[in-house]
Amino acid sequence: MIAKNIKGKSFKGCANYVMNDTAELLEAEGVFANSTKDMIRSFAMQRSGRKEIKQPVGHIPMSFSPEDRHRMTNDFMVQLAKEYMQEMGIKNTQYIIVRHHNTDNDHLHIVYNRIDNDLKLISVNQDYKRNIKVCKKLKDKYNLTYGKGKEKVKREKLDNPDKAKYYIHDAIKSVLPDCKNPADLRFALLELGIKLDYKHKRNSNEIEGVSFRYNNISFKGSQIDRKFSFGNLKKAFEQNIEDVKRRGREEYLREQVEQNARKEIETKPKNPSIGGIELTAEQWKTLTDGGFIYLENMKRKDYTGSFSAYIFLNDEKDKALFCKENPDEFVKYGRYEMRIRDKLLIENGYITKAKVKWWGGINFQYPYLWKEKKADTEYKESWRDPRIKEAKKEKKEQIIIPRKNKKRGLGF
């Protein structure tokens, strides 16, 4: 069993990575798990409470030895993952546990929110040191295989100098992925109580060798493991730098995609809502085309309950009117039999080109009907749009001929 603790910036990038085509979601806590997008939204919503935290994403890949494959049921893997999180202090927060089936060795991924449910930050200080101890504790507890080579050695049965040698080995292995130069490795190991010394060439300051000391016991790098000679460590530093650049490029591209997606959402015109219900594009088109729709469970303005009704718009398309019956049904109103919608528009103070039955319903006519005052018992009618006449009148009243200027020959 091997685990690695990774911190990141983007829940979207991390969730999309772990929820690949071979992924099997084993457990989700505190997130909507209907889709990857729902998971991302759930993580992002809680993360928004601590926007100053630059790396809110916790990601733990955890793999198991092929020798233990027959034991790796989904339930057992979830149990190991949850015990690992408990021992690492990852509590009271959102997480998902995802199993992958894309490699020969069984492995899973834990993605968790470093901003816990109380908006406190889950610390990752000394996580590489705690990771070594926790993995060892769980392997011993469940008698899991230590893996190939040095991983199979039972550390608790060793005596010095081998005990110190394997402690140094495990420490270097845990911190090396985060080191980009010799100084990074020196300070990382110093926190674990290991002193690192570099050997320099006589005629230059170039490093040619490395040694490690723990509990007053020293080893050359190659004595710990061939891959820990300085030549191989230097290659590891260079590879880590390339990995950081690659991840930086990928992160930059992900951020660009996210920014473009946000801009598209922000600039996309939104359909209005009626009674607390956002209309679909199709519903809004029906209304603006002069049709009507039926909505259920709309909220009243005074929040006293909900109601359902037919809805249509006035001629200016800036006001919604409600009625309990089909607004295109006809009713007797005054001297005409007209649509319910025309009756409601007249009663609400609008001038409307009403559709009325003519000659006993054989055909239809379209007079303009309105009330001068809402309290009037009868409506006015005209076969021409009265608004045009009123507009001409207002325009005429605005034309003023200044008499003095006219006398001087400067008039219109």
Dump pLDDT digits (tens) for 102-135. Answer: 776 789 999 999 999 999 999 888 787 888 899 9
Q: Assign 410 a pLDDT band (cuts: 50, 70, 90).
A: very low
Tens of pLDDT, residue by residue over 307-352, are: 999 999 998 888 999 999 999 999 999 989 999 999 999 999 999 9
For the segment 64-90, the average pLDDT, to the nearest whole number, is 92
Token representation of residue 190: 């110093």
Q: What is the pLDDT of residue 264?
A: 66
User: Residue 139: phi, psi to the nearest 5?
Assistant: -65, -40
Q: At what angle do helices 230-267 and 11-18 cross, to 10 degrees?
A: 110
Q: With beta carbons less than 8 A apart as the criterion, state whether 233 and 209 touch.
A: no
Determine what percent of the chain is predicted with pLDDT higher than 70. Answer: 90
Q: With beta carbons less than 8 A apart as the criterion, state whether 212 and 196 touch.
A: yes
Q: Assign 150 a pLDDT band (cuts: 50, 70, 90).
A: low
Q: Which helix (H) or strand (E) holds 313?
A: strand 306-313
Tens of pLDDT, residue by residue over 364-401, are: 999 999 998 888 889 999 999 888 866 666 666 565 55
For the segment 176-202, the average pLDDT, to the nearest whole number, is 90
Q: With beta carbons less than 8 A apart as the criterion, state whether 240 and 180 touch.
A: yes
Query: Quick one: which of 117, 78, 110 has its CA closest to 94?
Result: 117
Q: With beta carbons less than 8 A apart as the criterion, state whether 345 and 352 touch.
A: yes
Comparing 16-25, 41-50, 269-278, which segment has the lowest mean pLDDT? 269-278
